[in-house]
Structure formats: structure tokens, C-alpha cells
Structure 1
Amino acid sequence: MFTIANGIILKGQNLVSSKENIVVDDGRIIEIGKDLSEGKIIDVDGAVVCPSFINGHIHIGDSIIKDEGYGLSLSEMVKPPNGVKHKALANAEDDEMIGAMISSMWDMVNSGTTHFIDYREGGLHGIKLLKEASRDIPIKPVILGRDDSFYGDDPDLSKVKTAIRKILKVADGIAPSGFGEITDEVARLIVDECSKQGKISSIHVAESEKNQIESLEKCNKTEIEKGVDANFSQLVHVTNPKNDDLDLIKNSSSNVVVCPRANAALNVGVCKLNEMLNLGIRPLIGSDNVMLNSPNMLRELEFSLKLMSVYYKSYIDPAMLLQMATTNVCSHEINNVVQKSYINEGDFAELIIFKSFSKDPHLNICNRCETKNILYIINKKCIV
């Protein structure tokens, strides 16, 4: 048992700040209040106590090729099977992959991330490699698998069904690349089987304007319409919505993950984050490909804070931005696969404690803090 004393606590779904103490026993918060003092005392002297981060979307496998292909188009970089990323993954040795993923996971842990949602290339073998790499690291990968049998204009649906079932035995869900690479039948099989098993079905949509135009020309539907119609539980990017796309998402059960730094790195646009928030959409935020960006969520938050201000010429609420990297995952539940908590009594103690520089605790994290300003990272496994 221990007590985190004299901290500015960001509590509940909305990260409301209050100066209180937190008592933790056997990995759970058992009491929050003023003047509590039980067990070992960790006096944080006015530091900000925040739920730990979730990186809502990452491709950790391409940690092996950091910054390769800079300046190439989206398709040249990441479209299967001939993108820079996919060629590198196909030629990588297992030890090289595992070592690079371990390095990226420690980068995340040291910058306050305790969970990440990975689009896992390489089929069953790729899933095995990530599980091996993460075995001794205090971080929880949420693994969304895929298989080469998904792709092409005329896939063997019996092979697709078999691959889906095998992947779901060992993974948290399925994540094909995008609608440009799979048929509607494959999409339907993925969503149906994930839904039956209570797992995540996720897909990239509307990452580029080009993808949206091609989808409209081919199907008379945007990629976002296709994602919502297919009932994918998670839509990643949503950078270039058209017409009523955002209203469709608002009225659907799909959650959204935005990746502002990756969109900027690939020159595909600025996600309509302020518009989403005004509609009541509460997205997650992720760093996307490690080949493009550091997986440090502090860098993602600061970039997004400034980008939205200049793009919309109005300020984004820093508390709502911070929720994208923390508590929004709880409101979505994501098919009960991601089990993170708010800072409330009875919740798991998964916390980051930041040095305080300013009177606004949300801006303190989003605008001021760096990895070196983290005093403690606390989760079910350890105190770092």
C-alpha cells in the first residue's frame, strides 16, 4: 500500500483537477481525498497526476526503418504489398524486428504510455513476434492482426475465414489496411467475426483526398461511409471527410483515432479535430508509423495543440485534447478489449506524475512537459 500525497489529480472522464491524495493497494485506487496518509508516502509536492497514456494507433513493426522514405507519397510509403514499409518488413530478420520493437516500447513507457493499439503486419508470425518482444516490458499491446489472404480483387473467402479465426485466437482484433486493398465481402467477414467474439475491427479511412475520390468514383460512397456501413468498430485517420461523413460517424457506434503528426509527415491533410469535438465525437489519438514519428505521446499532444490553433484560428480545449490520449478509450470501451481506467476509487492505478510548471494542469502536460519531466509512472506491474 502507498499514498500519492499533495498532487494535483486529474479525475474522472473529463480530467477535472483537484488537490487530493490517492491511496493505492494491490494495484487499485482504494481512496481519494485530502489529508490521507496510509502505507508508504510518495510526496509529489504539487505535481500533476494524470491517467497514463494510450497510443491509439501505431505500426510498431516499422521501427526497423525509422525515417526511411521521407518525402515519398502515402502509397509509396505504406500501401501493401510494395510500399517501402512492406518491403522492409518482408526482408527483416526476427531478431532485428524484436529488438526494434523493444526499443520503441521502452520509448513509450518512459514517456508515460502504458497501452498501445498496434496494426500488426505479418499474420500469425507477426503477432508472435510482438508478444515475445513485449513479454518483459510494463506495457500492454492491443494487437490487431491481418493476413495476406485478405487482399486482392478476387480473394478465396474460405481462406479469409480461416485466417480471421486463427488470428482472433491470439489477437485482440483484425485490422486490414484500407478499402482500396480489400473487397466488401472480406470487410463483412472481418466485422462479423470480430463482433461475434467481442473483438476490435479497425480500418484506415479517408487518410488522403485521393483515397476518398477513388472510393466515390468506384462505389459512389466515401471510405467513411463504407466503414460506417460495414460497422467497423474503429475508424483510423478520418483526415479528409466529405459531405455528411462526420455526421455519419456521430450517429454510428464506430470510434475514431486521429494521427495528426503522421498526416503532416505524409502531406495528406489536417484532421478535422475541432469539428469532431463540436459534434460530440470523442476520438483517440495515436502516433501511427514509427518509421514516420517517435511514439512519444507528449510530442503528439503538443503538435496537435498548436496545429489545431493555427488551422482553425481558434484554440482547442487542452483538457479535451488530453482526454484523447487517456480517458476517451474508456468511454468507447472498444469492445471491452482495452481495459483502462479513470482516476476514480476502485480503478486500477495507471498513472503518470508530471512536474508542474504552470497553473493550468492540462496545458502543463500538453504544452510544457517532456519525458524528463515525468517523476513517476505507475501501473499494475510496477512503479517506474
Structure 2
Amino acid sequence: MERFEGTILKGETFEPIRGQVIIDNGEITAVEEESNSSTDIILPTFVNAHTHLGDSVATEAAVGLSLTEAVVPPDSLKHRRLDTADRETLIESMYRTLGFMQSTGTGACLDFRESGISGTTALRSAASKRELTTFIFGSGEGTVLRVADGYGASGATDADFSAQRTAARMADAPFGIHAGEPDASDIYPALALEPDLLVHMVHAEAEHLNEIASESIPVVVCPRANQVLDVGRPPIRELLDHTTVALGTDNVMLNPPSMFREMAYTAKHFDVTAREVLQMATIAGAEAIGLNRGVIDVGRQAALLVIDGDSNNLSRAVDPIQAIVRRAGPLDVRRVVL
């Protein structure tokens, strides 16, 4: 049994309370209000809802390239690098990126893994040596679902994914797909596949938003990657008004998978509150895959991020939620509990 004292961002609304969190056997067993002298801020670990960890073999290699040149299959720089990387290098690179993510407060990630079964098993090998949860959306043929947790499609106009969609449904596994990144042309074809998760939706329009709302399809936005690739700005406010929205960092090649950076960028460049951004970075991603975390409450998995509220960076912060979302960084992390 362990106890953590300080200011707790409790429940789905992250209401700050003074108290303690008690965990036992990997589960939160109590959240108690009581006075204490701790300056720590305790919140759920982040859920990075969209990554491409295979990109770890070539970080910053795509600087200055367009979306097509950088990441679009099959001939982009990314895919050429993946094709030529040996398995040992790939696993080691992903392992190190997972280490960075874990040390900076990410307790789970949803990864779209290229290269079919071999790509999925390589990531399984890398993730087995880390404590954070890695949920793998596999690629290629539907048979990848024998080893992956779900299926991740590149885009509805890249190929016919109907067989893979059927395979995911039969396996009771989530089907995710990129949509609306360069333009809106692939959104309706993606929606026709009845996805469980949409990624990007930069060019979502009113009719798309209404259909997403009617089908309750969660969306993952990756605003920093969209900015780097110059594809536009996701309509985050409008998306939040229609459905659950989670936050992801996307291609490791383009940006470090830091949820601190993603939150600060989102809070400062979009019409959203700090509380909404923190929800996007925690509970929204967890709910998308049925993960029992992202919230500090009794019965949830013990996945806690302990922040030093008296660090040189945060010591004068007047609002703990604003401080975490807009200002905190890796140097403020005191402990990651998984």
C-alpha cells in the first residue's frame, strides 16, 4: 500500500482537493480529503492517444517536407526509413522513445504501427520492457489482429479497408482511421467504414460533425503535427461540442511525444479551457479504448503523475490545472506511478 499527499486533481472534472490518494495492488482504494503540508500536485498519467513509434528510427528527418513527402505511404521518407531499418535498431529506438514518454508522465499510448505483423511484434518487444501501457493498432492484412489490439488504417482513400474493418469487428477489436488531414475528401469514405476512432479531422465540416455526434465517434487531434506539416488547424472547439476529443502527438519523426508540449500548444492556440485540455490528455484517450484510468477515483487503475508544485517553474502558480497544462514540463515531474 502507498499513500500520496498533496493537491489532488480528483475525478473527471479534476476538482483540486487537499488530501491523499491510497493505492493497493495496482488500484486506487481511497481518495481522502485532509489537510497536509505537501506541495505536490497529483493527477492521472497522460494517455497519448495517437503515436507512430516506428518513426523513432529517424527523428527530425522530415524537417521541411510536405505531408506526402514526409509520411504518406508507400513512398514517403518515413516509409523508406522504416523499410531499411533492421529489427534490432527499430526495437531499440521505440524502446527509448517509450522511456521518454514514461519519464515525462505518459502512462499509456495508442500507437498506429506500420509494417503489419512484424511491426506489431517489434513494438510488443519494445513495450514489454517498459511499464506504460502500449495499445497497438496494427496494419496490413486483417490477420494482424492475432497480435495487435486493434486495427489502424492510414486513410480511406489509400486502400480498400473493408476486409480489415470486418476482421476488427469479428475480433471485437477497435478500428481506427486517419481522416480529414490534408483535406475533407476522405472523411465520408472513412465514416462509411463505421470506425471506432477517427484521427485528425482537420477539415471536418458541419455535416461531418453532425454525423460524428450521431454515431458518438471519438476523435483524436494532433495539433502540433498538423502545424508542422502545414495541413491546417483542427476545429477543436467544434469537435468538443459534438463528441469526445483526445490529444495525441502523432509522428515521433516530427515532434517529441511530450504531452506537456501538446497540452501547452493546444491551450494557447485554440478556444479551449485548461480543464478541457487536461481531459483530452487523460480520460478521453483512456475511454477510447476502454482503459480504466485517466481519472483519480476509487476503483481506477493506479496510474498517477506526481508533480513538484514547489519547483522553480511552478512555485508561484495560482491555479494547479492552468499550471499543469500551460507551464509544467519534464523537470517538474517528481514521480510517475504505474
| TM-score bucket (shorter structure) | over 0.9
Give the match's secondary structure for 2:153: coil
1:4 maps to 4
Change (3 A) 1:44 1:353: farther
Q: Are 1:50 and 2:43 matched, yes or no?
A: yes
For 1:31 and 1:69, locate their aligned partners in 2 and report how far apart those are by CA, in whole Å: 47
1:30 maps to 29
Give the match's secondary structure for 1:179: coil
1:203 maps to 177
Q: Are 1:100 and 2:98 matched, yes or no?
A: no
Superposed CA RMSD in Å reads: 1.6
1:318 maps to 274
For 2:255 and 2:166, locate their aligned partners in 1 and report how far apart those are by CA, in whole Å: 33
Deviations 1:298-326 (A, max 9, x none): 01111111111xxxxxx521001111110
Change (3 A) 1:250 1:28: same
Q: Are 1:365 and 2:324 matched, yes or no?
A: yes
Q: Are 1:344 and 2:297 matched, yes or no?
A: yes
Q: Are 1:191 and 2:190 matched, yes or no?
A: no
**Deviation at residue 143 of structure 1 after TM alignment:** 0.5
User: What is the TM-score with the length of structure 1 in the denominator?
Assistant: 0.83
- Counterpart of 2:108, as a letter, is H
Deviations 1:43-82 (A, max 9, x none): 8813211110111000000111111121111111111110
* Paired residues of 2:292 and 2:301 also in contact (CA < 8 A): no
Q: Are 1:77 and 2:70 matched, yes or no?
A: yes
* Paired residues of 1:11 and 1:342 also in contact (CA < 8 A): yes
Aligned counterpart for 2:249 among listed residues 287, 312, 315: 287
Q: Are 1:86 and 2:109 matched, yes or no?
A: no
Aligned counterpart for 2:113 among listed residues 107, 117, 120: 120
User: What is the TM-score with the length of structure 2 in the denominator?
Assistant: 0.94
Aligned counterpart for 1:303 among listed residues 265, 275, 281: 265
For 2:267 and 2:47, locate their aligned partners in 1 and report how far apart those are by CA, in whole Å: 17
Deviations 1:316-354 (A, max 9, x none): 21001111110113444x3x3x34242111211101011
**Deviation at residue 193 of structure 1 after TM alignment:** 2.2
More helix by share: 1
Q: Are 1:258 and 2:225 matched, yes or no?
A: no
User: Kindly, what percent of the aligned residue pairs are identical?
Assistant: 30
Deviations 1:257-287 (A, max 9, x none): 000000001000011111222x242211100
**Deviation at residue 35 of structure 1 after TM alignment:** 4.0
For 2:233 and 2:14, locate their aligned partners in 1 and report how far apart those are by CA, in whole Å: 26
For 2:292 and 2:122, locate their aligned partners in 1 and report how far apart those are by CA, in whole Å: 23
| Unmatched 5+ stretches in structure 1 | 37-42, 148-162, 216-222, 309-314, 380-384
| Unmatched 5+ stretches in structure 2 | none
